[in-house]
Structure 1
Amino acid sequence: MRRSEFLRAVDDEFGPRATTLMSDLVLPGIGLTPQDALEAGVSPREIWLSLCAETDVPLSRRYGAGRLEPRR
């Protein structure tokens, strides 16, 4: 997962709450907020999965999130 895909996935999943979650929620498995984890070089995929687990995002919406549809 690329950083851009991660940010798109967060916006799509959490909408108006995305900014608050990115800056305020400390992820237990990482020990940082998602924003701080990105800045520290933690893999966006690791952050995404941790964020999903912490906020109870269903498994069906975790894989492939943030990817654009292929061009035709």
Structure 2
Amino acid sequence: MRITVFRRMMAEEFGEVRAEMMARDHVFSALGGRTADQALDAGLPPKEIWLAVCDAFDVPRERR
């Protein structure tokens, strides 16, 4: 998964403004206590980050 795809899926699932806020501000324990943006900057795969977001916010399997 590319970062652009990750960003698009976040916006589609949560809305553009909320997705940006979540990526910047929400700390995920599954990402080592990082936000999604910090995890991306650290080089974690976008797919791994997306799945952590989905788990944290109970995104249905068909939209993962």
Q: TM-score, normalised by structure 2?
A: 0.91
Residue identity in the other structure for 1:54: A
- Ranges in structure 1 where 5+ consecutive residues have no aligned partner: 63-72
Identify the match of residue 38 of structure 2 among 36, 39, 45. 36
Residues 12-23 of structure 1 aligned to structure 2 (within 5 Å) = 12-15=12-15, 16-23=17-24
- Percent sequence identity is 45
Asked which structure has the greater CA Rg, the reply is 1
* Partner Cα distance (1:54, 1:43) in 2: 17
Larger relative contact order (Cα-Cα within 8 Å, sequence gap ≥ 6)? 1
- Ranges in structure 2 where 5+ consecutive residues have no aligned partner: none
Q: Which ranges of 4 or more aligned residues in structure 1 deviate by more than 3 Å?
A: none
Q: TM-score, normalised by structure 1?
A: 0.81
**Pairwise CA RMSD of aligned residues?**
0.8
Identify the match of residue 52 of structure 1 among 51, 54, 57. 54
- Determine which structure has the larger helix proportion and give its number: 2
> Which string of whole-angstrom CA distances, capped at 9 and with x for unpartnered residues, describes residues 13-47 of structure 1?
11031111011111111120001101110100000
Aligned residues: 62
